[in-house]
Structure 1
Amino acid sequence: MNSKSMLNENSAATHPELARAEGLWFADGGLIIQAETTLFRVYREFLAVHSGVFRDMLFIPIPADAETMDGCPLVRLQDSAEDTAYFLKALLYPDFFKSFPGPTTFDILSGVLRMSHKYDVDALQKRALIHLSARFPTTLDGWDETKAVDTTFGATLSSLLAVVILARQVDALWILPSAFYRLCEERYADNHIINGEGGFELTATDKLTCVSGVRKLETTFTSKVLKFLYHPRGFPGCRSSAVCAESRAKAAWTAEVSRNYSPQLSTRDLLPLNNWTCDDWEDFLDLCCKTCIAAMKVQHQKARESVWNELPFVFQLPDWVELERMKAEALR
């Protein structure tokens, strides 16, 4: 008995190794999809309307010896059953994968994004990219906003590795500067970046990019951000120059000492966008005059903006202008 007749005569119920997907097996559906050991019975016309790849696949003449199951064409996918389920639910159930800022999880987002990119479902791909872009911004203001709120996206080192891998898979390069930076923030990141974590491992090129990037950030770029503490020697309008100069010198020394290596020190504290915080400014209030504090804040912010502008180059990516162009084209 050949495979075609066996599939025709025996439904999924008689194949114990196969299981029907809950909520994705429609008795009147005209197409059966198999991903791993999971079966999905859906509407071929609906799938063809939304997916350019499935449209091309389903509307070519069906060969006489094509595999069928329960009288329906059988399509075997090389994708995971989990990704396939997320993708089909996102297509069929409007509330399953809502537009941003609706809630979702990274597993759902990544599955939907991979599948919609692969099978040419523009609307779903755009929705997923908007979710991802909101968590990995292309502006410093956006970065500061996302860092101020709790998020399940990129909450662990393995999920950050997954974000980088996903962005590469779908050519969403504008995600990478933020994602790489957040990877560099992780304590003991070098070992996990090199060896992988949670089943995720970067390419050799991205490993080198990330490890060399963190070295540049914690040295040259952090020094640039802290320069306001010692240069210039004084600010116009300061009425207590000696006191302010001494306070700035002490703060500069403290900031430099805090950069000394320690196994207990988080890499996050060494990097330029995080190295000087609101608490540090609070400590200055009673030590320096208002004129000097205002001038230092301006210099500090300009230095942070300079670091942000150079972030794509740190990670060997196109500049922000090109990344913004790519983002706009993908999301329009």
Structure 2
Amino acid sequence: MSVNSRKSRKRARADIDSEDESSAAMAAKEDLKHDDQVWFDDGNVVLVAESIAFCIHRGLLSLHSEVFRGMFTMPPPENEETVAGCPVVRVSDAAQEMRYMLWALYNGRAFRNPRAQVPFKVVAALLRLAHKYQITYLREEALARIKTVYVDDSLDFMTEECPSHPLLTYEEEDAFDVVQLAHLTDTPSLLPAALYLCCETEPFWEPTNIIKSFLSKRDEEPYNLLSQEDVFRCLAARPQLVEARLAVFSYIFSDAGGMQCRASGLCRGALAFIKNRFFEAQSEVPEWPVRIDCLYPRADDVMSDTCYSGQYSFCSSCQTYFKGRDKDIRERIWSDLPSYFGLDIPGWVKH
């Protein structure tokens, strides 16, 4: 075989490869759908996430993102893919999350309004992508909003059986996402409250099956959001949290020394009634799942149940006294919460 023949075959193979690549690019291009919300006719670059195309402005991305700024300084490839006459940049992100990020860059007023409640899934997506693309201001704003709920106001946030916050919506599976975001952004102060809320969810109700569940469902949410280390942290913490829940009740109503009321006989009778009910409950088969909500206020509910019994009640002075003890013990548990999960959080707020 002559050298020329070999060269001819190589050229033919290269031509075939080039045609295959072009065909694949054409097929991919035909599957693209222009985004309804983020498509600017005067844009000069097209981002493609999944099969959704976003026509936007290169200058805007370069202004806010160090990653895109560096990407746009690189020379374009010889066979650059284009859509609507604009170069295409394909990314591996979910289209919906990319839409959230781009919309925040173009029109972030709703998100940046400190009084507006924002869906958690939006804030989580913004934090993930802002971290990935090094959009500093967006990363800090998203992280600050999550920290307000899971760190600064967390003790108040968890005083209701269905937690809610004016800045952020809440679903119980959000806590798993927060754990992942804490590791991604190296923000360990998010972990104690998020892991605590994970411990309250159904996957952790049955400790005997939990490891099997997490190992067999590693590709399913929420199981794929926790590392093995975090799973073991929660398993180790649950018995301590159950004990802490019992300690809350015991602490609130164990000390009658501060009771100063004129109807002391009635109030002390009510206290004795509460203690008897507590000890009776301990001798019964525990409810399933065993509850761990040691940060939830107890005094109001217990005193209300006592009044509803029709036999006993507390005067306003004693109610205030026991509510104060309730707040005190919950703040102590909050201060110690990182230790339940084997965490040492620098600068953790001590009450």
- How does the TM-score come out when normalised to structure 2? 0.75
Residue 231 of structure 1 is matched in structure 2 by 254
Residue 274 of structure 1 is matched in structure 2 by 296
Quick one: distance in 1 between partners of 2:287 and 2:136?
A: 48
Please tell me whether the aligned partners of residues 34 and 74 of structure 1 are also in contact (alpha carbons under 8 angstroms). Answer: yes
Is it true that 1:34 corresponds to 2:48 in the alignment?
yes
Say if 1:242 and 1:142 are closer, same or farther in 2 by CA, change over 3 A: closer
How far 1:177 sits from its partner (Å)? Answer: 1.8
Residue 79 of structure 1 is matched in structure 2 by 93
Please tell me whether the aligned partners of residues 267 and 315 of structure 2 are also in contact (alpha carbons under 8 angstroms). Answer: yes
How far 1:217 sits from its partner (Å)? Answer: 0.8
Q: Deviations over 1:113-166 (max 9, x none)?
A: 10001111122112212332233233565435776864573323x333223223
Quick one: distance in 2 between partners of 1:64 and 1:16?
A: 21
Residue 4 of structure 2 is matched in structure 1 by none
How far 1:235 sits from its partner (Å)? Answer: 4.0
Q: Deviations over 1:79-107 (max 9, x none)?
A: 22221121111111234634333232222
* Aligned pairs, number: 315
Matched ranges for 1:1-332 at <5 A: 2=18, 6=22, 15-60=29-74, 62-65=75-78, 67-70=80-83, 71-95=85-109, 97-139=111-153, 142-143=156-157, 150=164, 153-156=169-172, 158-187=173-202, 189-190=204-205, 194=211, 195=213, 199-201=221-223, 202-219=226-243, 221-228=244-251, 231-232=254-255, 234-235=257-258, 237=260, 244-245=267-268, 247-258=270-281, 260-263=285-288, 267=291, 270-274=292-296, 276-283=298-305, 286-288=312-314, 292-319=318-345, 322-323=347-348
Structure 2: unaligned runs, 5 residues or longer? 1-14
Please tell me whether the aligned partners of residues 100 and 127 of structure 1 are also in contact (alpha carbons under 8 angstroms). Answer: no
Identity %: 25
Say if 1:55 and 1:258 are closer, same or farther in 2 by CA, change over 3 A: farther
Q: Deviations over 1:166-219 (max 9, x none)?
A: 332222322222222222233563359653686222111111111221211111
Say if 1:279 and 1:104 are closer, same or farther in 2 by CA, change over 3 A: same
Q: Deviations over 1:27-51 (max 9, x none)?
A: 3322222222222221111100011
Counterpart of 2:323, as a letter, is K
SS across alignment from 1:274: coil
Counterpart of 1:136, as a letter, is Y
Counterpart of 1:228, as a letter, is Y
Larger displacement relative to structure 2 (230-239 or 70-79): 230-239
Larger displacement relative to structure 2 (162-171 or 78-87): 162-171
Quick one: distance in 2 between partners of 1:289 and 1:33?
A: 66
Residue 6 of structure 2 is matched in structure 1 by none
C-alpha RMSD of matched pairs (Å): 3.5
Quick one: distance in 1 between partners of 2:163 and 2:79?
A: 52
Q: Deviations over 1:253-295 (max 9, x none)?
A: 42355465223x672xx43222614222334574456665444
SS across alignment from 1:206: helix
How far 1:316 sits from its partner (Å)? Answer: 2.5
Please tell me whether the aligned partners of residues 89 and 96 of structure 1 are also in contact (alpha carbons under 8 angstroms). Answer: no
How far 1:304 sits from its partner (Å)? Answer: 1.2
Please tell me whether the aligned partners of residues 180 and 210 of structure 1 are also in contact (alpha carbons under 8 angstroms). Answer: yes
Quick one: distance in 2 between partners of 1:153 and 1:44?
A: 33
Please tell me whether the aligned partners of residues 66 and 73 of structure 1 are also in contact (alpha carbons under 8 angstroms). Answer: no
